[in-house]
Each structure stands twice: as structure tokens, then as C-alpha cells.
Amino acid sequence: MRRLRVGVIGCGAIAQIQHLPHLRELGDEFEIAGLCDLSPKLLATLGAEYGVPPERQFLDYRDLVRGDAEAVVVCLTGSHAAPSIAAAEAGKHVLVEKPMCTTVAEAEAMVAAAEKAGTLLMVAYMKRHDPAYRYAQARVREMADVRFIQVNHLHPDNSLHLAEFRVHRFDDVPADVRAATEAAHRRGIADALGYADPDQVPPGIARAYSTILGSMIHDIGNLHGLFGPPARVRSSEIWAEGRGISAVLEYPGEKRAVCTWVDLPELWEFRETLEVYGSRERVLATFPTGFARGLPSTVTLHGMDADRQPWRKELAWHDNPFLLELRAFRTCVIEGATVITDGRSAVHDVALVRDIVLAHLET
């Protein structure tokens, strides 16, 4: 079996909890060809842990993509546009973690770079590879009608999830570098929403934009996989200084989706649900946090038999969607399989983040 040589750009929590352990676990299919991070101490620590020698540890992603990696996983802090574009221009295939970028302009530039280079740009919506999602997707497509969709995302503080894992952190990234990353993110939000100055963006609006882009984007991606992009945002509300977001999305065929994300920081009880209701059928899916390994995803089906008697069926899967996603990425690169979460489709998702916030601002 041919191994795919993969570099990892950004070695924070999601790389340490999911991507790097899976790349090592799938050692017959992947080789870690390089690590990139702004923290020298983190690079040295993870290099020793994963057998990546110093000459393959990079502080600058441009040095990594000039090497012999065939593909990269991009999961650094901030917009992923610049390293993804640089990787494509160097002929590398890209698996880019969400959020792929901050603005539609960045997303379109990423797609253009990959198309020009003839490389893959796959967006890491790992839940789209979850067997529970795939099963729910097939059942929704069999439904006679869809009348209502409900999405709830009840989110504890990430520190509660991360406490269950050993995540290496060091304080050797220069303060001016961290400040520049944050300033670029604020500038991107202002550009997306039409503000001339980032300081003009209300803090709650900036927080909500970041939350939709970084967390609620999973729900946006899941809905996209079921119904495509929505026709429009019917309404949107942002409250609690951006810690609560609710939007009503209109889809073709008179479908409506009510999507809510709420910050519930103190109690370790993550809940993400996707519920699709028809006149005779219901498909209800639940997903664990991305900072989890081994927790189940579930699907509950409700229906009526020929005698109009109701029935209920419950199923659960424990497969890790990050691992399945990596395998799908390799299959797309080596065997030419179709990318189900391609960059061009994800441009619509970044646009929807903007439109949800603008719908609130315009009310």
C-alpha cells in the first residue's frame, strides 16, 4: 500500500488530539512528512513524540510546503487561507480544517489556487464522514417530504473537553505574532460585514461571527450535505453578547431550518443535534464534540407502518470521523475519488456565516 506523505501545519489541540494520533495509527497509509508551528518548543516535543526529525520541523509553513510532502493538513490558529494557497501553489493537496478562512474573498482565492494548480482542496467537515451522518443522510433522501429541520448546538467551554487529554502548550510564541493573528482575524470580520474599521464591530457581533465560523459551521456543513445551500436567511437573532445565535434558513421546496447555538460554559454536557421532520417520518441525529474519541454518534428513526402504527428505531456508531476523513482524503488523492466536502461548495458556507450575522444587523 502506498503511503501518502503528509505535513501538518499547526500543531495545537485538534492536531494533537485527532490528526497526529490517527496519522501514526494509519502508518501503513500515511507518513508524517513534516510539522509546522510557531512554537519551537512544541515542534521539538511533538517531533520527538512522532519521530519527525529537526530538519522536518518548520516555524514557517512556506518552508514546509517547499519540501517533499505530497499533501498538508492545515489546522493552525487564524485564517487558513495563506498556507492553503501556498501549499496549492507548491503542488500540494490540502485538507483544511474548519474554519477554512474568514471571508468569502479568501475562500474564493483558495479555490482558485487549487484549481489553477490541479490539486485537491478538501474542507475538514469530519461529521460528514461520520457513519451516523451518512446513514441519516440516506434516510432523509428517502423521505416522502421534509417539512421542518431543527438544529441545536449546546456548547460547554472547550477547556472541559480538553482537560481529558494531554495537550502540549508552551509560551514561546512572540506576543507580537499572536497579536498580528488576532488583528488579521478582526480585520477579516470587519471586511466581511462591511465595516471600515475593526474597532467599529460591536464585540458581541465579532464573537458571534467567530462562533458561527468556528463551531456552528459544523451544522452549516451538515445541512449543506443534506439540502445544499439555503435560498436565504429568513431571520437571525444574536443575544447574550454573541453567546447565543439563532437563525431561520429557507431551503427550496418550502423547507425551513431553525438553527441555534448557545454557550453553556459551566456544565460538561455537549449536545449537537440535527432533526429532520416529515409528515410520516423523522430522522434525528446526535454528534459528540470534536474533542472526543470513542463517544457515539446516534440516529433515531420514527415512522409509520402500512397499518398506520408508529415505530421507532435507534442506532449508534463509535467510529472516529477524523480517522475516516483522513482515509477519504487519501483515497481522493491517490485514487481520484470525488471530494464530498470540496472547497468550492464550502464557499457557500462561509457566505452563509456572513449572511446570518448581517440578517441580525439589518433587523
Q: What is the pLDDT of residues 159-185, one digit of tens each?
A: 888 888 899 999 999 999 999 999 999
Q: Rounded to two decimals, what is the model's pTM?
A: 0.96
Mean pLDDT estimate for the chain: 96
**In which band, very low, low, confident or very high, does the pLDDT at 267 lie, cut at 50, 70 and 90?**
confident
* Interval 269-307: pLDDT, tens: 899 999 999 999 999 999 999 888 889 999 999 999 888
Q: Pairing mode, if any, of strands 57-58 and 30-36?
A: parallel
**In which band, very low, low, confident or very high, does the pLDDT at 37 lie, cut at 50, 70 and 90?**
very high
Report the percentage of the chain scoring pLDDT > 90. Answer: 91
* Interval 126-147: pLDDT, tens: 999 999 999 999 999 999 999 9
What is the rounded CA–CA span in Å between residue 8 and residue 68? 13
Cα 352 from chain centroid? 14
For residue 350, what pLDDT is reported? 98
**Do the beta carbons of residue 15 and residue 39 sit within 8 Å?**
no
* Mean pLDDT, rounded, for 229-242: 97
What is the rounded CA–CA span in Å between residue 43 and residue 265? 31
Neighbours of 191 (CB within 10 A): 17
β-bridge partners, 9: 36, 74
**Do the beta carbons of residue 225 and residue 137 sit within 8 Å?**
yes
Q: What is the DSSP letter of 228?
A: -
How would you classify residue 235: left for phi > 0, otherwise alpha for psi between -120 and 50, otherwise beta?
A: beta
